[in-house]
A and B are shown apart, each in its own frame.
Chain A
């Protein structure tokens, strides 16, 4: 078996049994990236030398492979998460040469767990987008069909895992940016509860929504990665001080007798028949596993897109005010005064979608419009959250499609931002409510394109959604399917 096709737990067993050395493993991955990534563009920056140096520490016995299930395991990390000494661009011109002087908390925790970082993965600029086409450098391609998008914004992290360019990766999810690309690329993606994982060192997009989470080849790997990064951090005052359960243990429980809610608002006109069929089939499987399916209602679902695309840009416009050409990043040269420098720096440094969101956010927060837009949206957010809280009185977890459509063609939606926003309709409500969600492969649509199943749980019940995902995965073959990349060169 090829090293690159192993899951994290399989690879770690391999390393422990000395069937492969850490250096061999890292080398195999770097060679594969060199061969295959030119077709996908999933990495922005590689950290090959550092990765090999780390691997040697295991091979010469200076670091202990037994220390954690991630020890010696090569991972990718989204380029919005700070890595000390390695540039962190957010796929933006404005941060093209930014080298963080510190590690994000999750980076630090991965290092502590002994993981080896292979590189920084591509994304929509500042995580704003649903296709990874908004990267200032290059679009990432879907390994299942390179004419199509991998989803976004964490498209690079999803594509890299799907194409076996790393054993697992981290992304960030503000409105679906982990779950949607996971669905589009046929891998597992988990967005934790808001507050479960520290955001320290995650370049902020919308601070009340952003969460970091894992991409993985199977549910057990997702549990391992979440275990490593979850938990309170004094440096992020919104991270919650609650005990972190043993996810690998919890996921092995049976789902017999669990009540799974099916929200009628998620099965609307406009959902692709292939997607609906795969999700229906998944529900049959869950029923066979002993879960009870109950129809529920999340009545404010249809307002999610409008509320989100007011709240997220509003927060973004404030967060992105820091990019002013003074302390780091790009500065437009030869500005005669400060105001000109700000304006020219930002106009050159930001791409069109980022500018659009800054504009929208500035507008909805501006005098005279705040009540009509921002205040209204934050009230609707309360209603959406209440929908979920009420639903969880009738069911333990909720199952839905991740997206209404399979991966679309590169360029298909770039001219129509509203159409792009509407493709997030099934992931946004959970983000607004702050609840956790996981995307797991549940079949294929025409053209062999992956379809994902979304499982949503109550706040801090990552253990429950992992349990449902794990039991589903044990009963189905979908997660084992891999795109045919090797025919290319």
Chain B
């Protein structure tokens, strides 16, 4: 049977998802994704050309709330979980 997704594509998708896969993981991922994607083909037996798509279980529109200024979380509390910070900002490796 034709592969739904090749190893090269898996590598590309991993890059999009910001994941690094080892050789072995990549091989396994390709096999399992093929298995699952082949199963998904089942959906093609349904004609959905006139069916609207559904993104939410409950139809909600224009959920508004008053635009009030409320206290936000304390900076110190938020930075407490930072892997690296200088007490004012999150620190990350050099970008530019």
Contacts and interface: CB of A to CB of B under 8 A. Distances in A.
A335 B93 contact: yes
B58 A238 contact: yes
Q: How many A residues are at the interface, by size bracket?
A: 35 or more
Interface in A61-108: 98-99, 101-102
Contacts of A208: 55-57
B60 A240 contact: yes
B1 interface: no
Given A355-B19, A376-B44, A379-B51, A328 B29 contact: no
A336 B56 contact: no
A20 interface: no
Nearest to B66: A234
Interface string A234-263: 100110100000000000000000000000
A363 B33 contact: yes
Chain A interface helix/strand/loop/mixed: helix
A119 interface: no
Interface string B22-59: 00010001001101110110111010100111111110
A249 B5 CA distance: 54
A346 B78 contact: no
Nearest to A460: B58
A380 B44 CA distance: 10
Among A355, A359, A433, chain B packs the most CB atoms within 10 A around the CB of A359
Given A101-B73, A378-B53, A417-B36, A359 B19 contact: yes
Nearest to A422: B39
A353 B41 CA distance: 21
Interface in B73-96: 73-74, 77-78, 80-84, 90, 92-95
Contact of B43 (A306, A339, A366): A306
B18 A346 contact: yes
B85 to A, nearest CB: 9
A157 B80 CA distance: 28
Contact of A359 (B29, B52, B63): B29
A98 B73 contact: no
B73 A306 contact: no
Nearest to B94: A337
B43 A377 contact: yes
A338 interface: yes
The B contact surface, by secondary structure, is: loop
A240 B57 CA distance: 11
A338 B58 CA distance: 39
B19 A343 contact: yes
Interface of B: 5, 9-10, 13-14, 16-21, 25, 29, 32-33, 35-37, 39-40, 42-44, 46, 48, 51-58, 60, 63, 65, 73-74, 77-78, 80-84, 90, 92-95
A418 interface: yes
Contact of A234 (B54, B65, B94): B65
A243 to B, nearest CB: 16
A309 B81 CA distance: 32
Interface string A130-144: 000000000000000
Interface stretch (A213-221, A381-389, A442-450): A381-389
B43 A307 contact: yes
A148 B39 CA distance: 27
B92 A360 contact: no
Nearest to B63: A237
A433 B46 contact: no
Contacts of A418: 32, 35-36, 39
Given A343-B19, A359-B29, A383-B48, A330 B56 contact: no
B76 to A, nearest CB: 9
A462 interface: no
B5 A363 contact: yes
A433 B51 contact: no
Contact of B54 (A329, A336, A352, A381): A381
A376 B29 contact: no
9 contacts: A101-B80, A208-B56, A300-B46, A302-B42, A317-B17, A324-B18, A355-B29, A380-B43, A381-B54
A363 B9 CA distance: 9
Contacts of B84: 331
B12 to A, nearest CB: 9
Residue among B19, B78, B90, B94 facing the most chain A CB atoms (10 A cut-off): B19
A310 interface: yes
A306 to B, nearest CB: 5
Contacts of B18: 321, 324, 339, 342-343, 346
Nearest to B16: A362
Contacts of A359: 10, 13-14, 17, 19, 29, 33
Contact of A101 (B35, B44, B48, B81): B81
Contacts of A331: 83-84
Contact of A360 (B33, B46, B57, B77): B33
A472 interface: no
